[in-house]
Structure 1
Amino acid sequence: LVEVVIGARAVSQRFLQLQLGAGDEVCALVTGRPTVVSGMDNDAEEQAADRGVRYRVVVERSVLDLPHGITELSAALGRDEEVRVVDRVPTKLVVADRSQALVPLASPTAEPAALVVHAGGLLELLTGLFESVWRDALPLRLGTRGIAEGEPDGPDLEVLSLLLAGMTDASVAQQLGLGLRTVQRRVKRLMELAGVTTRLQLGWRAYERGWVTRR
């Protein structure tokens, strides 16, 4: 029911096999502390997407601050993956087709290792853990087009999504390659469009109007 995989190469290989063997869905929790398994594998994801495999990924906010974090997440969203953000995820985790799960074991001194869970109550527990984190996470929108006439355009939605994920104006500007004043102008435009006077009200109205939705 539970297999222990030891060694960086072995863990990476099983991580790849898990994705390539999926036929329906891959779910993942991704932390901002890369080790052997830093996130998802782009080549494997593209191959899986070609087969119609659905990806649901929750990343912790610190991933957005990584050097290539926004670029990689934009690519994932471009493959029609669903990506959400939380302040912190409890553990790294990959679940394929609700039939197998991989949990990396973090240790600062020992050789990299992971658990591969094949069945039983532990697999159900890990699947339930993912679903719980997924429900509480906020959707990430990058490189999107506007929703409808009279509603935010794609660039404004990018700014809004990153702000709701907990990033500062300065961090959003840096990640999107914008000036700080440009970000602040877009926030002001969003507030005017929503008919609110505070950012807290903006977050609530954005959710209420479906600008950022949990599908």
Structure 2
Amino acid sequence: MLGAIGLDAGQESAYRALVALGAAEVADLAHRLALPETDTERALRRLEQQGLASRSSAWKGRWVAAPPGVALGALLTQQRRQLERAELAAASLAQEYRAEAEGPAVHDLVEVVTGASAVAHRFAQVRLGAVVEVCALLTEVSQGEAVQPRPGVAHRVVIERETLAASPSAAAPPRGAQLRVADRVPGGLLVADRRLGIVPLTARGSEPAALVVHGCGLLDSLLGLFEAVWREALPLRLAGGGAPGPAGTPGAAGAAGGGYEEVTTGPDATDLEILSLLLAGMTDARVAKRLDLGLRTVQRRVKGLMELAGVTTRLQLGWHAYAKGWVAREPLG
């Protein structure tokens, strides 16, 4: 019963016996408790420290109990105060824990990944984790492998013009995505569902490293950068890119083999690809290499487009293409 104030069973029994007897010698109390005298004396000294017993001044060798109402009340008051202090300490620790729990996040919002294998794995994780949309800025066409579109997931990709022009046709940008080309892309970036992004950290030739950014203000800033680049970039039309041609136009009838066929109702898919790449700033030779066509084939097709549009210069052809909806600032379809 009195264990709550720090007494063990032997001490409590000794105190109860003293209260019943009023005063007792160690030997008599030991006999009553059926304990060795040494244990009984040790218990009495503990009770003395607690203010529950004392040596009698009237009877030498005897011990007396302190009045329970006073002695136990003081111990209970002391115990309550200790409990109150413990409660305050617990509340303080809980508040400190909550504050720490709100900011881990600061440790986990950004992580650095190093090594070619680890970086490639994280790029794949981010892309495959998307269920709604992937946004990407590509400074290397080889990065296109990391953003190959998946069914049901929208992909918006901006490629740097120099990168697009210099890359071999075998390393084409991702097909099935909304593609745009920009004079300059500030850096590589891949964002999945606006909640997780990854940014290459090292320059070409260095040990690969990347920064993985979880949902936070930094990710919002990266998305703002993507949207700004996307708005200023020029749409590209590449075969299989998912952007249909204008209504009433043939499909890719002239694409096979790269030959040009007379167009009677409008440009075909290959014409639109050529036109899109030319408007993106690529030369005839670069367009031919990109589309795996002969240079003369590209030039013949451009001439055919000019005749179809009724213009005499490529500048006029560009204006006509926008006016007729063959190309647009926003993707067609």
> Which deviations, in whole Å up to 9, do the C-alpha atoms of 1:13-62 show, x marking residues without a partner?
1111001111110010011375xxx33337xx45xx23x11111111122
Shift of 1:170: 1.7
Q: Check if 1:6 corresponds to 2:106.
A: no
Instruction: Name the SS for the 1:39 alignment partner.
Output: helix
Does 2:185 align with 1:85?
no
Q: Quick one: distance in 2 between partners of 1:129 and 1:190?
A: 36
Match for residue 185 of structure 1? Answer: 300
Q: How far apart, in 1, do the equivalents of 2:239 and 2:204 lie?
A: 37
Deviating more after overlay: 203-212 vs 86-95 = 203-212
Partners of 1:181 and 1:21 in 2: CA distance: 44
Given that 2:131 and 2:193 are in contact with CA atoms closer than 8 Å, whether structure 1 keeps it comes out as yes
Rounded to whole Å, the distance in 1 between the matches of 2:169 and 2:284 is 18
2:242 corresponds to 1:137: no
Q: Distance in 2 between matches of 1:98 and 1:121?
A: 11
Deviations 1:94-136 (A, max 9, x none): 0110011111012467532111111222111100111111111
Match of 1:124? 220
Deviations 1:157-189 (A, max 9, x none): 121111112111122223333332222221122
Q: Which secondary structure state, in structure 2, belongs to the residue aligned with residue 196 of structure 1? A: coil
Do the aligned residues in 1 keep the contact of 2:245 with 2:326 (CA within 8 Å)? no
Q: Which residue of 1 aligns with 2:167?
A: 66
- TM-score, scaled relative to structure 1: 0.83
Name structure 2 gaps, 5 residues minimum. 1-108, 250-264
Moved more, 104-113 or 201-210: 104-113
Q: Aligned to 1:40, what secondary structure does the other structure show? A: helix
CA distance in 2, matches of 1:128, 1:120: 13
For residue 175 of structure 1, give the secondary structure of its aligned residue in structure 2.
helix
1:94 maps to 2:190 = yes
Runs of 4+ with deviation above 3 angstroms: 107-110
Q: Report the CA distance shift for 1:107/1:4 in structure 2 as closer, same or farther (over 3 A).
A: same
Q: Distance in 1 between matches of 2:172 and 2:204?
A: 26
Q: Deviations over 1:54-90 (max 9, x none)?
A: 1111111223431245x633xx33xx31111122211
Aligned to 2:41: none
Q: Secondary structure at the match of 2:296?
A: helix
**Based on CA coordinates, which of the two structures has the bigger radius of gyration?**
2
Asked if structure 1 preserves the Cα contact closer than 8 Å seen for 2:180 and 2:235, the reply is yes
- Choose the corresponding residue for 1:161, options 251, 276, 282: 276
Q: Which of residues 36, 39, 43 is equivalent to 2:144?
A: 39
How far apart are the structure 2 equivalents of 1:53 and 1:23? 6
More deviation in 120-129 or 138-147?
A: 138-147
Q: Which runs of 5+ in 1 are unaligned?
A: none
- Deviation of 1:201 after TM superposition, in Å, equals 1.9
